[in-house]
Amino acid sequence: MTIFDLTGRVAVVTGGNGGIGLGIAQALASSGCNVSIWGRNAEKNQAAASSMAAGPGKIDTRICDVTNPASVNEAMKATLDRFGRVDGCFANAGIGGGGRRSFIERSEEEWRTMFSTNLDGVFHAFQSAAKHMTERAQNGDAFGRLVATSSLASLFGTARNEHYAATKAAINALCRALAVELARYGITANAILPGWIKSDMTAGLMANDKFVANVMPRIPMRRFGEPSDFGGIAVYLMSKASSYHTADCFVIDGGYTAF
């Protein structure tokens, strides 16, 4: 599976709390892209790298706290020292709702942790990558891909995870703005919005009348899809056991949006 035509190029895949966008990294490596995996947890970084060692792309790992700009810049420098360039940045950092308390019950610390992890990682990683890409473009090599994972919550909200939905909506807005700002450098900015698929985790939801009546109409496809539904437009497939981060049905590219 080719992701934004990065065959033979170099991409960074970031993870926030040690979690890595493994599906993204695997798809990139299998397409022949060289991949640098950034995350806080060295063991998870290495496990992700080992799982794709058979691919044609070269794999590198970096300890990186994506919420810390100094750590991100250090990881970028080390990656450039190793590969000489970075052509794509896939920001997969983030945490979910983390509980069922309502908006008014959330503590200040919970809010700040959510915003820092979900937003700072994307901002810092994109800024560091964009600096390198624009400098390269000014020297006649205009190419770059910035991609962030978003959430269906950014479209229709989510009860008791309002702060999570707000951060994901902000990421969508950032990608739209960057798509306009960076187009002259040949750099595209994209938000990948995962869709729902049928799986063991989601099967029970269809038996819930309230879910069918209140939530299903808000899902763009109006139904759970099969993995094959996304074959023509999928950027990555995470796991058939997952209910959310399985395939994208929404892409923002150069200011253009489409389902």
| Cα gap 12→79, rounded to integer Å | 8
Q: 164 catalytic, yes or no? A: yes
Reported as a pLDDT band with limits 50, 70 and 90, residue 116 is confident
Residues 70-89 have a mean pLDDT of 96
For residues 4 and 72, which has the higher predicted lDDT (pLDDT)? Answer: 72
Give the pLDDT score at 207.
Answer: 80
Reported as a pLDDT band with limits 50, 70 and 90, residue 160 is confident
Q: Which position among 164, 185, 236, 244 bears the catalytic label?
A: 164
Q: Any idea which of 28-37, 146-155, 157-166, 193-202 has the lowest mean pLDDT?
A: 193-202
| Cα gap 121→114, rounded to integer Å | 11
| Cα gap 9→28, rounded to integer Å | 9
Q: Which of 22, 80, 77, 79 is nearest to 52 (CA)?
A: 22
pLDDT digits (tens, 9 = 90+) for 42-72: 888 888 888 777 778 899 999 999 889 999 9
Residues 27-37 have a mean pLDDT of 86
**Model pTM?**
0.79
